[in-house]
Chain A
Amino acid sequence: MTGLPRAKTLGLVGCHACRLVCAPPAAHDDSRCPRCGTPLHQRQPHSLARAWALLLAGVIFYVPANLLPVMHTNMLGSGSDSTILEGVIEFWQSGSYGIALVIFIASVAVPCSKFLILGLLLLTAQRRSGWARHERTRLYRLVELVGYWSMLDVVVVGVVAGLVKFQALADIEPRLGILFFGAVVILTMLAAMQFDPRLIWDGETHERNS
């Protein structure tokens, strides 16, 4: 695709919120969309630095999220803590392979691939790489699409803890791991929102001209 004009080269900006195409006066970084009042940015300011910071915070929190127990089960006086992975293993051993797989995908596969994909997108955007632009855009859309499904574990712990309240007989309580896990989901969602996918395509026209 050679001749397709891009907003930036034309001095135009598409509003983030209402998508109106505007022509902000040059060298004005604090202009707002005349229709909805959202600040207009050619590219999200400090996109890479902010996305990196949020992503790294997410990766760091992912460690206690997996090491600390997410819930405490008390059955007839004998209590036990369980982490996310122990929950998966328990389902697997009891023969519920499908459920084990769903939880594994939501709590391990999705967050980990999100770390890797966002890291890859940030690195390549930083180097203004021209490598596999279509595929990288597709990866970005994938991250936006599946990112929030990791919230699954938080809901499961909430429902189970909300239901099983039979004092001495059976009682389930949330534990600290789930707080870290929820933080990971929110931090990586924010990181994906901070990343400006338009950066993937910046430099394309320049490459063609040279």
Chain B
Amino acid sequence: MKTFPHLIACEHCDTIYARPALAIGESARCDRCHSTLCRADRLDLDQWLALTVAAAIVAVIANVCPVVRISLQGLHNEATLWQATVALAQGAVALIAVPAMLAVIVVPFAQILLLFWVLAFARAGRRAPWFVANMRLLVALRPWSMIEVALLGILISVIKLSGFLHVAPGAGIWAMATLMVLLTVIARRDLDSLWAIPERGKPA
């Protein structure tokens, strides 16, 4: 099949353009529908990988440390992200725990690990094993990553509960806030440049 790597099609209206040469930080808009066509991100490969490692560390903290602590008449309790999603797995509603766990814990971790895998090899100038499957998965996971929603949800829960018991934020909540920023930066970046890495045994 003939392919045209020098062309780009607008995802929202199907208009064809010659791939524009962009300076770092610039983005191109479609003339027909005004959607963003492509971007030249500020992040280079090294920075991208570094932030991915940082995100991995922060994600572990966000999941290990409790996000909220409460106390009521001498009784204490605290919950991690995991416990909050497991709490949904009760009786007839149990099914909702699955998407909640995926969106808040599994998908963000998967994004970080897949990116790390691809980027670590990309830095050495080669395609990682299972490169193609990884890249497709990264695109597919993107809409289902909901750390920012989880963070707002936790903040609202804190306010909701503070009416009748004592509530204090745990270390996990700070880690989540950091993770939210890092994940947005690393996971929203255009994956286009990674496809330029040549397959082994094939010329670029």
Chain A residues close to B by CB (< 8 Å):
1, 4-8, 10, 12-14, 17-25, 31, 34-38, 75, 87, 91, 94, 96, 99, 102-103, 133-134, 137-138, 140-141, 144, 148-149, 151-166, 169-170, 173-176, 178-179, 182-183, 186, 189, 193, 197-198, 200-201
Q: Nearest 7 pairs between A and B by C-beta?
A: A155-B153, A14-B9, A162-B87, A159-B157, A162-B84, A161-B87, A162-B79
List the B residue with the shortest CB-CB distance to A32: B1
CB pair B3 A22 closer than 8 Å: yes
- Contact partner of B143 (CB less than 8 A), chosen from A35, A87, A148, is A148
List the B residue with the shortest CB-CB distance to A5: B16
Quote the shortest CB–CB distance from A66 to chain B (angstroms). Answer: 15
B56-64, B94-102, B114-122, B178-186: which lies at the A interface?
A: B94-102
CB pair B2 A155 closer than 8 Å: no
Instruction: Indicate whether B86 reaches chain A with its CB closer than 8 angstroms.
Output: yes
Q: For A149, what are the chain B residues with a Cβ–Cβ distance below 8 Å?
A: 149, 152
Q: How far is the CA of A103 from the CA of B192 in the complex (A)?
A: 37
List the A residue with the shortest CB-CB distance to B82: A162
List the B residue with the shortest CB-CB distance to A133: B33
Given contacts A20-B3, A152-B156, A154-B100, contact A1 B31 (CB under 8 A): yes
CB pair B75 A169 closer than 8 Å: yes
Known contacts A158-B88, A162-B83; 20 additional CB pairs below 8 A are: A4-B31, A6-B15, A10-B16, A18-B136, A22-B1, A34-B3, A36-B136, A94-B163, A148-B144, A155-B157, A158-B85, A159-B68, A159-B79, A159-B87, A161-B87, A170-B164, A173-B90, A179-B96, A182-B100, A189-B143
Q: For B73, what are the chain A residues with a Cβ–Cβ distance below 8 Å?
A: 169
CB pair B156 A103 closer than 8 Å: yes
CB pair A163 B96 closer than 8 Å: no
Within 8 A of A (CB), among B1-58: 1-5, 7-16, 31-35
CB pair B77 A164 closer than 8 Å: yes
Given contacts A159-B67, A186-B99, contact A140 B12 (CB under 8 A): yes
Q: For A13, what are the chain B residues with a Cβ–Cβ distance below 8 Å?
A: 9
Q: For A151, what are the chain B residues with a Cβ–Cβ distance below 8 Å?
A: 100, 103, 146, 149, 153
- Contact partner of A20 (CB less than 8 A), chosen from B35, B67, B77, B195, is B195
CB pair B146 A7 closer than 8 Å: no
Q: For B99, what are the chain A residues with a Cβ–Cβ distance below 8 Å?
A: 154, 182, 186
Given contacts A155-B104, A155-B153, contact A193 B143 (CB under 8 A): yes
Q: For B87, what are the chain A residues with a Cβ–Cβ distance below 8 Å?
A: 158-159, 161-162, 174
CB pair A159 B153 closer than 8 Å: yes
Q: How far is the CA of A179 from the CA of B95 in the complex (A)?
A: 7
Q: How far is the CA of A161 from the CA of B154 in the complex (A)?
A: 12
Q: How far is the CA of A182 from the CA of B153 in the complex (A)?
A: 14
Given contacts A162-B79, A170-B165, A201-B14, contact A155 B100 (CB under 8 A): yes
Among A38, A103, A158, find the residue whose CB has the most chain B CB atoms closer than 10 A: A158
List the B residue with the shortest CB-CB distance to A162: B87
Q: How far is the CA of A75 from the CA of B73 in the complex (A)?
A: 13
Given contacts A38-B136, A155-B149, contact A19 B157 (CB under 8 A): no
Given contacts A137-B35, A148-B149, contact A24 B1 (CB under 8 A): yes
CB pair A179 B146 closer than 8 Å: no
Instruction: Indicate whether B161 reaches chain A with its CB closer than 8 angstroms.
Output: yes
Instruction: Indicate whether B139 reaches chain A with its CB closer than 8 angstroms.
Output: yes
CB pair A155 B92 closer than 8 Å: no
- Contact partner of A21 (CB less than 8 A), chosen from B7, B34, B77, B160, is B7
Q: For B106, what are the chain A residues with a Cβ–Cβ distance below 8 Å?
A: none
CB pair A170 B72 closer than 8 Å: yes
Q: For B124, what are the chain A residues with a Cβ–Cβ distance below 8 Å?
A: none
List the B residue with the shortest CB-CB distance to A202: B14
Q: For B97, what are the chain A residues with a Cβ–Cβ distance below 8 Å?
A: 158
